[in-house]
Amino acid sequence: MLKGIFTTLHSALNYFLHNGIPCILHTTTGIYCPGCGGTRSLIALLTGHPIKSLLLHPIVIILIVELIALFVRRVRIGRFFIHKWEVVMILTILTVQWIAKDVLLLFGIDIIETVWKMPLP
Helix (H) or strand (E) holding 104: helix 84-106
Query: How many Å is the maximal CA-CA distance in the chain?
Result: 52
Would you say 113 and 43 are in contact if contact means Cβ atoms under 8 Å apart? no
CA distances from 119 to 1, 19, 115 (A): 38, 15, 9
pTM across the whole model: 0.73
Q: For 57-106, write each residue's pLDDT tens digit.
A: 989 988 898 888 888 887 888 777 788 888 898 899 999 999 999 999 99
